[in-house]
Chain A
């Protein structure tokens, strides 16, 4: 079987298109590259959607934590503590079994017991908590002069936030937020190892890498392939976030622009 045929059979295997059976013997390098790459679809899916949705909740959480009223502040603080203080791995397990119990009560919750929805909800809340803390820190370091100038010009309420505070907050938070985004993509590899079943063996990149390592009893091929894919993904993210960082800093003189400092990869 040529590599092109393998590609046609397995490139979309992780979403259920193409050959039904996974290779069982005589594993070729091509099969490993294609299937692990196919699994990356799920990593990108989880990462992109959770990051996008989490961004808005994170802003709300950061504002809540910075609020005067304890009715807003306390829930935000507890939300952040709950998701940052416990391992994501345990959060996945707990959420999965919680959704299983909820499914018994009302069938509305059935989609949440599968990975595409349930794990996405957990990742969304988790990244919202981590980014919320980053945004909160940035919110506190918005220069006093900026807000005083806004007050002097008669800005108030929503317009003051949208035009003055928010852009500066994002600008200050962006390097740390880039790291958070990279963490999040790495964390998506936990999904299929934490209770959520891989329906018809449709898993993510690590799921397939693990499959090959188990079958061939040789970790020295699939895991480096996986590492290669993730390094590519990380570089892509850094480039993308770097562009946004440039845009956020475009009004500043060259010397004062926030440099992207990258600290990669710690487990959450």
Chain B
């Protein structure tokens, strides 16, 4: 038994009384337990989730906008591309897309770099069960520090989310663009606006009120899809909840406890319930704002209530 009974080096604790964990009891023990370094990493991973949402939502919206625009295009290949993009991501379980895109994107990037950086390479890239590219084309480079690997993994996850949710958003925006009354566009044309002008000045400002119910639904779905980050190999809240909740023996930690994973996942459940509730309230307010002055049933109801 050459191992020390507990780790020799302790992290600096937040509370002064945390210096001797064996002597603590009750609330103080819990306070110290919940402020260990690993728990701080757990709390920070909630930030990872929020960061993912903050980056993915606008990127997916942009993808969706491009998809909807190309599905409306009069040029055949672009139109076909837009429609295929919308159609293909639907009808198949999206978790399959998450698992697929992460490897596919990774291999795609490495293949492109391989073509660019190693022109003299004569071996096949797929050798049996291996995917082999030259060292210079590896992403990230084998010599890169740990944080580069983690950031690269996270960015791949963001891109995957954006592609999948972009297709959903494209579908919603495409429908919203068609929901804008035809008379509005005809009026714009009568005033001599070009196709481009009537699109940007008339259609786009008016479509948001039609798109918002679909987009807010999508936002809810996006929130509920964030735990899938775990499957993409990112150290997110699910990872830490499993890690911290598992049984801990006194030998490896100052705070031994039984299997608490159930409680950690209960906490995650409460977090998501709160998050969706807040989103619901906020989106309801936004809808009120957008409806104001619109020629829809909702706008009419607001006008009557004010009068």
- Chain A residues within 8 Å of B, Cβ to Cβ: 25, 27, 81-82, 85-91, 93-94, 97-98, 100-101, 186-187, 189-190, 193, 206, 209-210, 213, 215-220, 223, 226-227, 230-231, 234, 264-268
Contacts and interface: CB of A to CB of B under 8 A. Distances in A.
B273 A264 contact: no
Interface string B250-279: 000000000101100110110011001100
Contact of B93 (A89, A90, A265): A265
A267 B97 CA distance: 11
Given A97-B265, A98-B262, A219 B99 contact: yes
B99 A213 contact: yes
A206 B95 contact: yes
Nearest to A224: B100
Given A85-B276, A90-B227, 5 more contacts: A25-B129, A217-B103, A230-B93, A266-B217, A266-B218
A223 B105 CA distance: 14
Contacts of A25: 129
11 contacts: A85-B276, A87-B224, A87-B225, A89-B228, A100-B261, A206-B96, A217-B129, A219-B107, A223-B99, A223-B100, A266-B217
Contacts of A187: 93
Interface string B50-64: 000000000000000
Contacts of A266: 94, 168, 217-218, 221
B103 A219 contact: yes
Contacts of A89: 224, 227-228, 230, 238
A93 B242 CA distance: 9
A264 to B, nearest CB: 4
A97 B91 contact: no
A218 B126 contact: yes
Contacts of B131: 217-218
B96 A223 contact: yes
B265 A230 contact: no
Given A87-B226, A89-B228, A213 B91 contact: no
Contacts of B221: 266-268
A97 B259 contact: yes
A247 to B, nearest CB: 25
Nearest to B106: A219
Given A85-B277, A206-B93, A230-B93, A100 B103 contact: no
B92 A265 contact: yes
Interface residues of B, number: 44
A90 B99 contact: no
Contact of B238 (A90, A230, A267): A90
Interface of B: 89-96, 99-100, 103-104, 107, 126, 129-131, 168, 217-218, 221, 223-228, 230-231, 238, 241-242, 245, 259, 261-262, 265-266, 268-269, 272-273, 276-277
A101 B262 contact: yes
A220 B96 CA distance: 12
Contact of A90 (B126, B129, B265): B265
A217 B129 CA distance: 6
A189 B95 contact: yes
Contacts of B99: 206, 209-210, 213, 219, 223
A122 to B, nearest CB: 12
A190 B272 CA distance: 18
Given A98-B262, A219-B99, A226-B96, A267 B273 contact: no
Nearest to A223: B100
B90 to A, nearest CB: 4
Contact of B273 (A81, A88, A217, A265): A81
Contacts of B238: 89-90, 93
A97 B224 contact: no
Contacts of A81: 273
A86 B265 contact: no
Nearest to A81: B273
Contacts of A220: 104
Contacts of A265: 89-94
Nearest to A185: B93
Contact of A230 (B92, B218, B226, B259): B92
Which of B96, B99, B217 is the most central at the interface, judged by chain A CB atoms within 10 Å of its CB? B96
B273 A85 contact: yes
A213 B218 CA distance: 29
Contacts of A193: 95, 231
A58 B272 CA distance: 23
A81 B130 CA distance: 47
A231 B96 CA distance: 13
Contacts of A217: 103, 129-131
B91 A267 contact: no
B224 A227 contact: no
Contacts of A226: 92-93, 96
Nearest to B104: A219
